[in-house]
Amino acid sequence: MYRYAALILLLSCGIAHGIQVNATDKGGKLCIYADIMVNFSVSYETTENKSETVVFQFPANATAKGSMCDDNSSTLNITFGEGHSWSLNFSRGGEKYAADSIVFVYNLMDKTLFPNAKSNDTKKTVVVKPHIVDIGLDTCYSCKSTEVIEAEDKSVNQTLWNVIIQAFVTNGTKSDKLTVCAADKPTPAPTTPSTTAGPTTTAGPTTTVGPTPTLPTPNSGNYNVTTSVNGTVCLLASFGLRIGVKQGDKYEEMNLEPNTTTVSGWCAVNTSELTLVSGTMKIVFTFTNDSKKFHLQALNATGKTSSGAAFSEGNSSLNLWQASLSSSYMCNNEQNFSIDGNLNVFTFNLRVQPFAVKAGVFSTADECFLDSDLSFLVPIAVGVALSFLIILVLISYLIGRRKSRTGYQSV
């Protein structure tokens, strides 16, 4: 049954647009609630036979007409611009529900959004499947982490984050209970198992089983992104990379192998993205700039561990690898970053430049603190502080002892 929908668009975090949708039935009861952020990146061919990429979000005049819901299926439908729409389709199974698909339809004849588009297609459709599953019936699905969904032909990327959705609202009232996505769930630090040797009837010596042997330093690889317009390099990256994944009480580290890694990505005015795929592992780096400096804003990793267990972790609120827009960022020393509660990233001989690349080479580097000439002052400063503390304690002891002797002699 079709429902009437009221759409409220909110501005949040600078350029990001959060869309809050309240879909109600004829009696005014809530049937779908959603507060979601979506970034679109669409590549298209121009009349000059060049490839352009546009990045955009939902505009302020978007509407939610066409949303629908019944007892077993719901569709959140958002229309905007000249013939564009985005729908999220849900289905219910017992006491749980899930998102079956995202259908994104865009119109290349919209010259405001796609200037000089060569194609006259009024309807290009992309269907993808989000990882929104196992949601309790009377709960909202909540996921602050970023999910990057790429079209099969890689022409369209959709980035979802800060998602709160309840597709099947009970009694017209949004639930306060949450089903939190796996990427947002904290995981306790891995524990070290132990075994007890000796007879079972007596207490024997305890042997501690150590962690998995340390992996060798990962090999460094060169990962460059070129524009499809004229093949020029628009993003440069060079580093060795290791990731560590926590799953319950298990922790595993994996090195990225440059020789088996495929590179893709795209570059826009204020956002650039680097995607690395090696075996079952996929890592997506998203960079942004504020016209003066750039930084790594989001990192997402998906794949499988050696045991075959799938993982999907990420964070879209990072502020790493910051450097001037006309420079590159460099850190030769090993760095360790906790991306979220389940994902650690280690970098070696890192250098990146996601914007303003000239002649396909790195610009002058902004060095990290670990590489700077000042980094050696930290242990020296600590040593000097400890020395002063020891001297102060010694002086206090001598003064106290002298006063003690003086008091004894005067008796």
Q: 80 near 58, Cβ under 8 Å?
A: yes
pLDDT at position 210? 37
Q: Taken in order 28, 181, 149, 8, is the CA torsion positive or negative?
A: positive
Instruction: Please tell me the distance from the alpha carbon of residue 317 to that of residue 337, in angstroms, as a whole number.
Output: 13
Q: Taken in order 47, 53, 59, 65, is the CA torsion positive or negative?
A: positive
pLDDT at position 352? 97
Here the tokens at position 312 are: 């999907």
Over its length of 411 residues, how does the chain's per-residue pLDDT go in tens digits?
Answer: 444 343 333 333 333 446 777 777 777 788 888 888 888 889 899 888 888 888 888 777 777 788 888 888 888 888 888 899 999 999 988 889 999 899 999 999 998 889 889 888 888 999 998 888 889 999 999 988 878 888 888 889 888 888 889 988 888 888 889 998 887 776 554 444 444 444 333 333 333 333 444 689 999 999 999 986 678 999 999 999 999 999 988 999 999 999 999 999 988 888 999 999 998 899 999 999 988 999 999 999 999 988 888 999 999 889 899 999 999 999 999 998 999 889 999 999 999 999 999 999 999 999 887 766 544 555 666 677 777 788 888 887 777 776 665 554 544
Q: Which domains does the chain have, with CATH numbers?
A: 4-184 (2.40.160.110), 221-371 (2.40.160.110)
Indicate the residue type of 73: S
DSSP for residue 404: H
Q: What angle do CA 60, 64, 70 make, to 5 degrees?
A: 160
178 SS3 class = strand
Tell me how far apart the 2 most distant CA atoms of the chain are, in Å.
Answer: 108
Q: 278 near 256, Cβ under 8 Å?
A: yes
pLDDT at position 407? 55
pLDDT at position 13? 32
pLDDT at position 200? 37
